[in-house]
Structure 1
Amino acid sequence: MSSKLGYSITEMDKSIKRKNWRLKFWSWAKTLAVVFIIIAMVRGFMFTNYVIHGQSMMPTINDGDRIIVNKIGYEISEPNRFDLIIFHVTEDTDYIKRVIGLPGDQIRYEKDILYINDEPHDEDFLNQFKEENGGGVLTDDFTLEDITGEMTVPQDHIFVLGDNRQNSIDSRQIGFVSMEHIVGRANMAYWPIQELRIF
C-alpha cells in the first residue's frame, strides 16, 4: 500500500512540475516577445544604425565603422555646434558630417583657424589629424560668402564639414543642410568592438 501511495505522489509531482514548466515557459516567451517589440519600436523610432562608407570623417570615424544614431533628439532640441549628424542628401544617400555653423552664424577659415562671428574657435577633434598631417593645413581659407553667396547661415539650416577636410564633400560643395533633412545625431561607434567610442 505504501508503494502505491509513493507511486501516486511521484506521478503527481511530475505532473505539477510539467505544468509549472509550461507556465514558466509561456511567461518567458511573453516577456521576450514584449522585449523584442519594444526593441523594434525603439530602433525604428528612436535609434538606428549606419555603416560608414568613405573617409570624409577620418580619423573620428573610419570607413566600415558601425554607428548608432539618435533619431529623436532633434525632435525636442536643435543641433549643437560640433555635433556629428546624419542627413539626407538625396532620397537614396545619407551623409555624416560635423555641424560647424548654426542659423545666423558668419563662418570663415583663416590660416586653418575657424572663426564664427569673428571669434576664433578651437576644433580639438582635429588635433590628432593635424599631428598625423605633420602640421600641414587641414582646412583651406574660405568665407561663407565665397562659397555660398550668403553672409550668414540661413534660418532652419546648418553648415557642415567633414573632419577629413582635404577629402570631404560637405557644405563647401553641397551648400547648407536643411534641418528637415537631418536624420539624427551620431551617439557612438560600436564596431569594430575594440574601437568602441562615444561621440
Structure 2
Amino acid sequence: MSEEVTPRRAKNEAWEWIKALGIAIALAFVIRTFLFAPFIVEGESMETTLHNAEKLVVNKAIVYLSEPERGDIIVFHAEAKRDYIKRVIGVAGDTVEVKDDVLYLNGKAVEEPYLEKNREQAKAQGIPLTEDFGPITVPEGQIFVMGDNRLNSRDSRSIGPVSLDKVVGRSEFVFWPLDSIRMTR
C-alpha cells in the first residue's frame, strides 16, 4: 500500500524544509561573519610559506578573544577593497629594526627559520633579503607586519604599522590545492 500524501502533510513537509534551509543559511552567515572565512592568497609576498592562488581558512573569532602575536600570519584590511596577508613581526611597544639582513626585536636578534629558502636565493643573487630599516617603535593599538618574501612585499616597511581594528583574522590552514593541505601556524 502506498501512503497517500494529503495537502496538509505536504504543506507541513514544505514548511519543515523551509525552516531547515533558513537555519542552515543563518548558521552559514554567522560562521562566515564571526568565526571562519576562506581567503585566497594573491601574489607572492608570502612565498615560500604561502603561494599565489592557495586557499586558506582564516579564524575570525580569534580577534574577539586575543590580539595577534608575533609570528602569527594574519589577514587585514589594507585598502578599501583589498585585504593583505602578512606575518606579525612586532606588537605594541616593540622596537623593530633590520641591520645587515638580521631582524632585531627590542634589540635582540630574532631567528626566522621560515625565511631560509628566500635568504638562500637572495644570497645567491648577492643581495640582502631584507634591506636595513628602523628602529621603529610599534604604537599602542597597532602591529608591525612583513611578508616572508621580503624582496617582493608591500608591508609595514612601506604602509606603516597596521591598526588592530583592521585585522580580519589569523590564518589557520591551507585547504586548496588538495595536495598542499597544511597548517599555517
TM-score range, shorter chain: 0.7 to 0.9
Q: Distance in 2 between matches of 1:191 and 1:132?
A: 26
Report % sequence identity: 39
1:171 paired to 2:156: yes
Q: Distance in 2 between matches of 1:25 and 1:138?
A: 62
1:143 paired to 2:134: yes
Equivalent residue pairs, number = 178
How does the TM-score come out when normalised to structure 1? 0.78
In structure 1, the residue matched to 2:35 is 46
Q: Distance in 2 between matches of 1:93 and 1:35?
A: 29
Structure number, greater radius of gyration: 1
Q: Specify which of 77, 80, 83 is matched with residue 91 of structure 1.
A: 80
* Unaligned 5+ runs, structure 1: 1-10, 146-151
User: What is the CA deviation profile of residues 25-50 of structure 1, one whole-angstrom value per residue up to 9, with x for unaligned ones?
Assistant: 99899667645542332122211111
SS at 2:104's partner residue? Answer: strand
Structure-2 change in CA distance of 1:30 and 1:129 (3 Å): same
In structure 1, the residue matched to 2:183 is 198
User: What is the CA deviation profile of residues 124-162 of structure 1, one whole-angstrom value per residue up to 9, with x for unaligned ones?
Assistant: 1112323444565211222134xxxxxx11000011100
Q: Distance in 1 between matches of 2:83 and 2:135?
A: 23
Q: 1:110-121 maps to which residues of 2 (within 5 A)?
A: 110-121=99-110
1:185 paired to 2:175: no
Higher mean C-alpha displacement, 120-129 vs 188-197: 120-129
SS at 1:89's partner residue? Answer: strand
SS at 1:144's partner residue? Answer: strand
1:74 paired to 2:63: yes
The structure whose residues are more often strand, as a share, is 2
Q: Distance in 1 between matches of 2:21 and 2:175?
A: 24
How does the TM-score come out when normalised to structure 2? 0.84
Higher mean C-alpha displacement, 129-138 vs 57-66: 129-138
Q: Distance in 2 between matches of 1:74 and 1:44?
A: 12
Q: Distance in 1 between matches of 2:86 and 2:56?
A: 13
In structure 2, the residue matched to 1:100 is 89
Q: Give how far 1:178 is off.
A: 0.3
Query: What amino acid sits opposite 2:129 in the alignment?
Result: L
* Unaligned 5+ runs, structure 2: none
Q: Distance in 2 between matches of 1:154 and 1:62?
A: 30
